[in-house]
Amino acid sequence: MKKQINKIAITGGTHGNELTGVYLINKFTKNPDLVKRDSFKTIFMHTNLEAIKQCTRYIDKDLNRTFTKDGLNNPDLDTYEDILAKEINQKIGPKGSDNPNVDFIMDLHSTTSNMGLSICISTEDKLSWQVAAYVKECIPEIHIFSWKGDTGDTSFVSSIPPSGFTIEVGSIPQGVLRADMFFETEKIIQTILNFFELYNNEKLKKVYTEIEIYDNVKSVDFPRDKDGNIEAMVHPDLQENGYYKLKKGDPIFVTLDGEYICYSDLDGLYALFINEAAYYEKGVAMCLAEKKIISI
Ligand SMILES: [Zn+2]
């Protein structure tokens, strides 16, 4: 018999300057009935309180890259976020446990990149993919981005319980609330909660067998000089066009002097997370993904 889902977590403020999630948690705190369902318990929380207070992405290090099993088990790692990650892991994990405190998590994020609504999914877990497929059916404009992350062992908040994923919406500047994206994100949350109410009551109409995804292939950094200074900007053709289908010869960067730098990789890859502010320090100007339909 399939496993009943007993507890779901909604987390916001993992990056303290991404206000959509921060204020949705504020809204649910004032009115918990909004996320209440009969067949499971919903908990919600701000994850990085100090970063929220300072309206910054993080204090010492990116909390959303801090949930590797090695890091969580290493007592010598003692930055603010390392300690915080261990506390969060006890609340909604522990990661890898057969009996975690939470069955499913949705971690709320926003991006400065104009890519609309996305689910970023990093797990092979079958239930997570069923949820993603259900959301895609209810909200067809959402994109499903499959990405294992940049640290090897998945280190996202969404990797703590056995099932879950990250919700990314944009474009939203850091430290800014945008009403349309706020309500779109709330709609995704409600859709996910609806899924689990149907799932627990065995009222889902079907099992999904396939889904269209954007499968991460690689990331592309800005052209930089030997000291690491950026020498070219994202080309205006790409700037506002998340999930842009690239072909050889498309201008993707423009130097400070106005010269174009053209794409020379595989035809047909899609560019996303284009010009995400938080990725300048990660050496990522955009991610490239392959669009495909996979079996789930
Ligand atoms: Zn984020």
* Distance set, CA 285 to CA 162, 169, 245, 281, 282 (Å): 31, 18, 16, 10, 9
CATH of domain 7-208: 3.40.630.10
Q: Tokens 């991006």 — which residue? A: 111
Q: What is the pLDDT of residue 151?
A: 61
DSSP classification of residue 31? -
62 Cα to the center of ligand 1, angstroms: 9
Q: DSSP strand E in the chain: where?
A: 7-12, 41-46, 104-110, 116-121, 143-146, 163-170, 210-220, 232-234, 244-245, 251-255, 260-262, 270-272, 286-295
Is the sign of the CA dihedral 124, 152, 148, 88 positive or negative?
A: positive
Contact (Cβ atoms closer than 8 angstroms) between residue 220 and residue 286: yes
Q: What is the pLDDT of residue 154?
A: 86
User: According to CATH, where is 3.40.630.10 located in the chain?
Assistant: 7-208
pLDDT tens, 155-179? 999 999 999 999 999 999 999 999 9
98 Cα to the center of ligand 1, angstroms: 28
14 Cα to the center of ligand 1, angstroms: 7
Ranges in the chain, pLDDT < 50: 1
Structurally, at CATH architecture level, domain 215-295 sits in: Single Sheet (2.20)
* Distance set, CA 133 to CA 74, 136, 137, 192, 211 (Å): 36, 5, 6, 10, 6
Q: What is the pLDDT of residue 156?
A: 95
21 Cα to the center of ligand 1, angstroms: 9
DSSP classification of residue 59? S
pLDDT tens, 248-295? 999 999 999 999 999 999 999 999 999 999 999 999 999 999 999 999
296 Cα to the center of ligand 1, angstroms: 26
Q: What is the pLDDT of residue 149?
A: 74
268 Cα to the center of ligand 1, angstroms: 27
182 Cα to the center of ligand 1, angstroms: 14
User: According to CATH, where is 2.20.25.160 located in the chain?
Assistant: 215-295
Sequence-separated (6 or more) residues with CB below 8 Å from residue 150: 65, 219, 282
* Distance set, CA 39 to CA 8, 10, 62, 220 (Å): 11, 16, 34, 44
Q: What is the pLDDT of residue 150?
A: 66
Q: What is the pLDDT of residue 2?
A: 67
7 Cα to the center of ligand 1, angstroms: 23
Q: What is the pLDDT of residue 1?
A: 45
Contact (Cβ atoms closer than 8 angstroms) between residue 47 and residue 157: yes
Q: What is the pLDDT of residue 3?
A: 81
